[in-house]
Amino acid sequence: FPSHDTKAEGATKRMVNHGSFRRWFEKVGNVLPKWTNLEIRDYFRGHWSFDQDFIDLVNSHDLLVIGGGNFFETWPENSSSGTSIDLRVEEIEKIKKPVFINSIGLDTAQGISANARHQLPRIVKYFTEAPGRIISLRNDGSISNLSNLAPEIDTTGIPVLPDAAFYLDTPNSKYTDCPVLGVNLAQDMAPLRFTSGEPTAFLKVVTETIEAFYGKHPDHIIRFFPHIYSDFGLISRILEQLPDSLRRESVQVVEYSQDDRGAANLVNAYADCTMVWAMRFHASVIPIGLGVPTLGIVTYPQIDGYRDWE
């Protein structure tokens, strides 16, 4: 958090993870910090870089927090660190202020670049030894991924933290008074998610399961939750296959909006579900954090990896 109120270039969206973390941070630290936000997607878009300007910005503040998020992905070939956080040990050493890697996801499922194999173990080892550096990994199998990538690293001293979205505040208002089955479906990374590389067979099973559920619970609303734009692809295909009466009278699709208002509406829409079926990590985390019974649909290792941590 900064020692003064600066505005960094890029988006300043506070989603459920960051909002919950900041409330926790303020309570534990008994502080009301001012935050400078650097949106990682604006780095991907080329609006800012992990360069000397970034280091100077960090050094003008009191603390750098990286995460939470899936920022230790190991597939980027064009990153000097081999991860989404394009900082090697040599650059991190130029940061004179404390650095906290907060509940970060280390994800090897999409492949491991040569840079990641060489640089990421160095970075993790540095953070376990250097003063003013703290690293924690997310409870999604990341600690197992690290052990497989770098068995020489002693992981016993690395905290495994729940994603901050587990600790959402429960909304005061209800989204609707009907009993609701929430459904989140994802089609990105299709070659990893689906045996044949595309979701036709999967969609058939999901559609039949939704119809069977509705046949036993006709008082329920079926509420679909798109988290990113490509989720609409599967939602649309499911809607095409559902009976017209169910589709017209008993289906909702939650608003797609990734600003603060949209995040608040998303939380409210999850909070009054009777149960949730979810493919995405945060589509499971949010309802679990709100006390909603949740079934994780395992099509990507992070959903299964949570069980490793348990």
Q: Name the pLDDT band for 7 (thresholds 50, 70, 90).
A: very low
List, for residues 200-234, the tens digit of each pLDDT value: 888 899 999 999 999 999 999 999 999 888 899 89
Q: Of the ranges 119-123, 160-164, 299-303, which one carries the lowest mean pLDDT score?
A: 299-303
How many Å is the maximal CA-CA distance in the chain? Answer: 62
Contacts of 307 (CB under 8 A, 6+ apart): none
Which pLDDT tens digit goes with each residue over 10-40?
222 345 778 788 888 888 888 888 889 888 8
Calpha distance 101→122 (Å, rounded): 15
pLDDT at residue 309 greater than cutoff 60? no
Range from 67-76, 80-89, 160-169 carrying the lowest mean pLDDT: 160-169
Alpha helices per DSSP H over 103-256: 114-129, 142-149, 190-193, 200-216, 231-241, 244-249
The pTM score is 0.62
- Residue of 260 and 271 predicted with greater confidence: 271
Q: Which of 136, 138, 156, 134 is nearest to 147 (CA)?
A: 156
Give the model's pLDDT for residue 257: 81
Does the pLDDT of residue 9 top 60, yes or no? no
Closest C-alpha to 221, from 180, 183, 185, 278: 180
Angle between helices 260-271 and 16-29 (to 10 degrees): 90
Q: What is the CA radius of gyration of the chain?
A: 21
Residue 180 in contact with residue 273, Cβ under 8 Å? yes
- Residue 259 is encoded by which pair of tokens? 């600003």
